């Protein structure tokens, strides 16, 4: 049972790490947007107000995907292990005899 719980924890941690790969994209996009905005304001300083508003909106929208990834990672780290661990424990306690038989058979084979 310890092995099963450890596997669940490991899978959740790996999944959270993989989910956070989605945080790379918004960073690249925002950096590109800032570069272009600096360029445009240097060329046309009178457009600063509209560029600021547009960039603020654009950055906020671009960050949304990173936020999705963060929420998924938090769910996988804090919520999923408890849910899955509790379900596994209840499943094992319900089928104690079957688990015992399987363990004995495995021990005989080993």
Partner 1 sequence: MKFDSSVRREIGYVTLGTALLTAAEIGVFYLCGYYAPKVLFGAILSAVGGILNFFLLAVTVTRVLTYSPEEEAAAKGLLKLSRISRMLFLLAILAVGVIFFSPWSTLITVFFPRVIIGVRSVAVRRESAANAPIPTDGADGDEPDESENGDPDEGDADEPEPKGSDEDGTDEN
- If we measure between CA atoms, which residue out of 60, 80, 54, 62 comes closest to residue 23? 62
- For 78, which DSSP code? I
Contact track, partner 1, 22-61, x by CB under 8 A: -x--xx--xx--xx-xxx-xxx----xxxxxxxxxx-xxx
Reading the block at residue 15, the tokens are 């999944």
What is the rounded CA–CA span in Å between residue 64 and residue 79? 21
Question: C-beta of 61: minimal distance to partner 1 in Å?
Answer: 6
Contact characters 8-27, partner 1, x per CB under 8 A: ---------------x--xx
Is the Cα torsion angle 38, 43, 45, 50 positive or negative in sign? negative
Residues of this chain that interact with partner 1 (CB under 8 A) are 23, 26-27, 30-31, 34-35, 37-39, 41-43, 48-57, 59-61, 63-64, 66-67, 70-71, 74-75, 78-79
């Amino acid at each position: 049972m310890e092995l099963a719980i450890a596997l669940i924890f490991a899978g959740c941690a790996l999944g959270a790490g993989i989910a956070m790969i989605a945080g790379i994209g918004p960073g690249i996009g925002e950096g590109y947007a800032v570069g272009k905005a600096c360029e445009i304001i240097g060329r046309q300083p009178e457009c600063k107000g509209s560029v600021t508003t547009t960039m603020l909106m654009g950055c906020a929208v671009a960050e949304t995907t990173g936020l999705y990834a963060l929420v998924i990672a938090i769910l996988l780290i804090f919520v999923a292990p408890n849910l899955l661990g509790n379900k596994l424990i209840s499943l094992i306690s319900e089928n104690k005899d079957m688990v015992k038989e399987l363990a004995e058979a495995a021990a005989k084979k080993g």
